[in-house]
Structures are given as structure tokens and as C-alpha cells.
Amino acid sequence: MGDRPDDLRALLDSVTGQDGDRVDVVVVGNGTPVTGVPEGVRTVELPENLGIPGGRNAGIEAFGPAGSGVDALLFLDDDGRLPDPGTAELVRRAFADDPELGILSFRIADPDTGRTQRRHVPRLRASDPMRSSRVTTFLGGASAVRTRVISEVGPLPGEFFYAHEETDLAWRALDAGWMIDYRSDLVLFHPTTAPSRHAVYHRMVARNRVWLARRNLPAPLVPLYLGVWTVLTLVRRPPASALRAWLGGFREGWRSPCGPRRPMKWRTVWRLTRLGRPPVI
């Protein structure tokens, strides 16, 4: 969004300085001009802020339809930085060694403390961020996606704008037979932040969770999934203002169009369960 030029330059330096083959870079200005980027970096300037998934989809299309001009796509937040110049080579090797692997989720670490927040480990058993594993979702701003996944299951859901867009893509990818890995050795430095810093956080988290269920889950699981998350939200006792925003978003999720409904196969439900996260939580 053009408000972190120094961070963006540090990220670009860390990407263009990767070992091995050159990494082609696109910077998307999400409703803002793009300035101060190094020579050779492509830019896309969107006339309005399309949100996180809309901006990433614009970056994908910069490489051709569904990113067809490249084998894999890195998605990196503009206030992140790759500390290891061998990261791109690790990504290439991971995809080459495992033809079923569709998505890689990086470990996000604070640049000052080296710590990884629990919420940045995309599984229920998140106490050990140094343990790599198969997972059922991924971290959108620190990830790599095989372009065949995008071409087969479609892009990120642009209408989500913010929150849960990665899980929507992850569930569709798993339903198509792809796997997702969380890799602790693929690191993105990123300052520790709270997601609630965004004014729209509580409303969109609730709205998009309803959309996620309506779009992807078999009908019997929709009320179960949303019921579990309603109970969890109430148990966490959010402030009254946050709860009002959450309830408004929950109602909006039922009353507004959610996009095409393509419920996952029951065997995908079983796959998610075997991977440690059944689609009810």
C-alpha cells in the first residue's frame, strides 16, 4: 500500500540476492503508485485497493494467465525479509522432490527475537514452531504455491478482501489431491504484530468464515463448523465492540453472496482429519 518503502526495499534486496536462478519479481501497488523499486522489478498499479487476495491475484496474472509463465509463485508481505539467500533453492528442491506438494508455508520469525508466534504455525499442535509437517492451510504472506495449483483450482477468492483467503485456496487444493507443507527451515523475518490491528479484522474474520464454510464444506458440516467457532469466539470473551463487529460480520456472511459453492469430497474431509485438523475447527 506504499506506506513501508524502506521495508519493501529490504525485502526486494533479499529476494533479488537469492542464490541460484534469478527470481522474477512483481510488486503490486494495491490502490497506490509503486515507486523506488530496483531496475528489473515489474510493477502493477491497481486503481483501488482490492484487498490481500485481489492484490495477490493481480501479481499472479502479471506472469500470464494463472501465473503460467513460471513454475512456482512466492507470496511475500512487504514488511518481511528473507534472511537466508538459499531460500529459493530450498523451495525449488522441495517442489522437485515431491510431485504431490502444491503449497509451502514458511516459518515467520521476529527479526529481533527470532521467535515465531503460535498463530503463525498453521496447525493445531503449534507449540513447537521448529517442527516441519504436513498441514491443512498456509500463511499467505510467507508462502510458495506451485502454479499448477492455481491453474487447476483457481486463484485466491478476491471477494474475501482480508482473512481466510488462504484456507479457501488450501481446501480447494487438498480436494484436488495436492499436499501442503509447513517448513521451519524456510524463514521470513517479519515484525511481531497482532491481526486485530486492522479495523476490519473482527467483521471480516466472521463474514469470511461463514463464506468459507458455505463455499467448501459438505452441507452437514457447515452448522457444525460455524457452531464450534461461535463457541470459541464467545469463550475468548472479546470486548463488546469487537463482539458486535463479529456478530455483524457473521450475519453478513449468511446474507451476502459467497461465490460459487463447490463442497469438498468426503474423502477430503477424511484427509483433513488424518492431517490433524478436521474441518470443524
Please report which confidence band the pLDDT of residue 258 belongs to, taking 50, 70 and 90 as the band edges: very high
Judgement on whether residues 126 and 53 belong to the same structural domain of the protein: yes
Question: How much is the pTM?
Answer: 0.96
What single-letter amino acid sits at 224?
A: L
CB under 8 Å to 241, separation ≥6 — which residues?
Answer: none
Judgement on whether residues 64 and 188 belong to the same structural domain of the protein: yes
For residue 222, the enclosing domain spans 197-261
Judgement on whether residues 221 and 85 belong to the same structural domain of the protein: no
Judgement on whether residues 137 and 210 belong to the same structural domain of the protein: no
Q: Which tens digits make up the pLDDT trace of 91-131?
A: 999 999 999 999 999 999 999 999 999 999 999 999 999 99
Residue 266 lies in a domain: no
Identify the pLDDT of residue 71: 95
Judgement on whether residues 107 and 144 belong to the same structural domain of the protein: yes
Identify the pLDDT of residue 96: 97
Q: Which residue, 76, 253, 65, is CA-closest to 168? A: 253
Please report which confidence band the pLDDT of residue 196 belongs to, taking 50, 70 and 90 as the band edges: low
**Distance separating alpha carbons of residues 84 and 158, to the nearest angstrom:** 31
Distance of CA 38 to the CA centre of its chain: 26
Identify the pLDDT of residue 193: 79
**279 pLDDT above the threshold of 80:** yes
Residue 270 lies in a domain: no
Residue 275 lies in a domain: no
Identify the pLDDT of residue 200: 85
Residue 89 lies in a domain: yes
Identify the pLDDT of residue 142: 98
Identify the pLDDT of residue 197: 54
Distance of CA 36 to the CA centre of its chain: 26
Q: Which tens digits make up the pLDDT trace of 139-187?
A: 999 999 999 999 999 999 999 999 999 999 999 999 999 999 999 999 9
Judgement on whether residues 121 and 230 belong to the same structural domain of the protein: no
Judgement on whether residues 111 and 24 belong to the same structural domain of the protein: yes
**Distance separating alpha carbons of residues 280 and 222, to the nearest angstrom:** 8
**Distance separating alpha carbons of residues 239 and 233, to the nearest angstrom:** 11
CB under 8 Å to 64, separation ≥6 — which residues?
Answer: none
Judgement on whether residues 55 and 180 belong to the same structural domain of the protein: yes
Judgement on whether residues 201 and 187 belong to the same structural domain of the protein: no
Q: How many other β-carbons are positioned within 10 Å of the β-carbon of residue 106?
A: 28
Judgement on whether residues 110 and 124 belong to the same structural domain of the protein: yes
Residue 220 lies in a domain: yes
Query: What are the b/e assignments for 146-168, b being 16+ CB within 10 Å?
Result: bbbbbeebbbbbbbbbbbbbbbb
Task: Write the CATH number for 36.
Answer: 3.90.550.60
